[in-house]
Amino acid sequence: MPEITMPRLSDTMEDGVVVAWLKQVGDKVTRGEILAEIETDKALMELEAYDDGVLDQILAEPGTRVPIGSPIAMLGDGSGTPAKPAPAVAAPATSTDFTSVPLSNQTPSTVTAGAAPDDRRKSSPLARKVARELGIDLDSVTGTGPGGRITRHDVESAQPASVPPVPAPSTAPVVAASGDYEEVPLTTVQQVAAKRLTESKQQAPHIYLTSAIDVTDLLAFRTDVNQTLQSAGTGKVSINDLIVKAVAVTLRADPAVNVSFDGDKLLRHRGIHLGVAVAIPAGLVVPVIRDADRKSISAIAAESREKAERARARKLRADEMTGGTFTISNLGMFGIEQFAAVINPPEAAILAIGAATDQLHLIDGEVVTRKILRVTLSADHRAIDGATAATFLQQLKDLLEHPLRIVT
């Protein structure tokens, strides 16, 4: 009978975490039924059965990270004798994903002579490091940590009084003593974001350009639009919705920023697919509004609200968070006036939106209060030079300060 393997549920997925099994061993399974919930690098997704049968064996318990293509369960005919699973494919180790290997599975050369098989679990890595530096035999140290675990303090307390402590190198990071912190595992979304954004900062030379935009007329325009929409019985639009539309219109008129860097060439995207960053408890996700330049402001507003709600409920599909060509990140609702965002690869630019603030301006000899919004464009200098980025911001500023042009 067939085995159930970890499927590829997104284009960037390398492995997945089994969150929960919705079927138990011995349950009948029909093709198309939901077997389990899988957390990918994008979202929480459902795993469908591709065959009929009986769930004879679960190979990956909830919380287990499994590489793509490795078996996670076995289907049988209900006889209780499941087929022998294929050997699991080992996942490549990354800086955020390690698999613990019991000492009993290691070669003799990796085990300290005379040490008990579970010594590694009874001492922290920092305690073992300090013990090596001080020449302390861990067998002579009494652990005061949970379950008798040996801590750094235990090792330092056991060192002979005649031997001064070995000072840590001045460049070494300060490590909090055990008990002074709580370890919080990263979610899959956070792990992937950490990996990809680190690569972005290391590989893409970021340049940052900030523009101060007078949005006094834009705010008035939004009020008029919402009054019209309210009369029609439809939802309201936000300032962010207007900015999304304005960015789409700007990219349509000048697509030089709607690109990706690809080695010895640029990929100039025909479609304008705008990612809108949404913060959720599991991390940061970026739903994509496809062909934003072809959609009305009200359509963009409705789609943004709907996808943001489903993003917070972890109900977005992987295809709804891929294929973006340009991203917008807005922290204005938190009172942040200005910030610089990290480019979301393989895109070449991201626009950071701050809060609109009151500022005094001299207009026609009179001092007046105007609403000023600061936006910062982060651009990949390999694909977008300073003049190109400045031209984009200049056009966007002109559009937002004359909002009627957004819809004409």
Catalytic residues, by residue number, are 381
3-state SS, one letter per residue, for the chain: CCEEECCCCCCCCCEEEEEEECCCCCCEECCCCEEEEEECCCCEEEEECCCCEEEEEECCCCCCEEECCCEEEEEECCCCCCCCCCCCCCCCCECCECCCCCHHHCCHHHCCCCCCCCHHHHECHHHHHHHHHHCCCHHHCCCCCHHHCECHHHHHHHCCCCCCCCCCCCCCCCCCCCCCCCCCCCCHHHHHHHHHHHHHHHHCCEEEEEEEEECHHHHHHHHHHHHHHHHCCCCCCCHHHHHHHHHHHHHHHCHHHCEEEECCEEEECCCCCEEECEEECCEEECCEECCHHHCCHHHHHHHHHHHHHHHHCCCCCHHHHCCCCEEEEECHHHCCCCCCCCCCCCCCEEEEECCCEEEEEEECCEEEEEEEEEEEEEEECCCCCHHHHHHHHHHHHHHHHCHHHHHC
